[in-house]
Amino acid sequence: MGWWSDWRATQERRRRATFFAGRCADVPPVEWLAWLEELCGDAGRARQELELAMRAIGLIVAERDALDDRTVSEVARAMAPVLAREVAEMPERAAAWGTRWRAYGEAMNRRGVSEPALYRLGRVLLAAVGVEAPDDAQVRRAATAVGDMRERLNASLRRAFGEAKLPEDVRPSALQWR
């Protein structure tokens, strides 16, 4: 591939990453905001935590579900200006973002526990708004919200970067990677 083709391919990947990063920065649905505001009693905090959750879940989706290993770094690069602008407007958001990103990543990667990953991610969301000892209904509702986020973002990732397609008679484990 020549330098022109390389450059065009890079620009196309950046365009796709920017599209997906934009979906990670979408305004959370009103029903999620209302539910979380009811739990924490603060509309601003509910909105911030849902926005941080969408960005973190978006990076997790890009890391785990993308067709190419470069996708997550390209998405993170595309998200950087949005995060920088938010931090410039609200400096306390920088620490919150780092803390939440680590918490969501740790919850997703925790092994040896019987609780499903969506429940663990839901618990992170609830803890972020101050619900330290949630009841089962709250955890289920949070898991539903996080699961909906993941589904929406996964659909956006597929729209941006494409979907893996294999012949019906070939198992993914049978592919030869070079």
DSSP H helical ranges for the chain: 3-24, 30-40, 43-65, 71-89, 92-109, 117-128, 136-161
Give residue for tokens 């993308």. 66
Q: Which is nearest to 89 in space by CA: 44, 43, 37?
A: 44
Give CA separation, 9 vs 4, 6, 13, 67, 136, in Å: 9, 5, 6, 15, 47
Neighbours of 177 (CB within 10 A): 3
178: pLDDT strictly greater than 50: no
177: pLDDT strictly greater than 60: no
Q: How far apart are CA 158 and CA 153, in angstroms?
A: 9
pLDDT given for residue 166 in this prediction: 66
Instruction: For residues 120-142, give the mean pLDDT.
Output: 92
The structure's pTM equals 0.84
Write out pLDDT tens, residues 88-122.
Answer: 888 888 888 888 889 998 998 888 788 899 999 99
DSSP 67: S
pLDDT given for residue 108 in this prediction: 87
- Tokens for 117? 């990953």
167: pLDDT strictly greater than 80: no
Write out pLDDT tens, residues 24-62.
Answer: 888 889 999 999 999 988 888 899 899 999 999 999 999
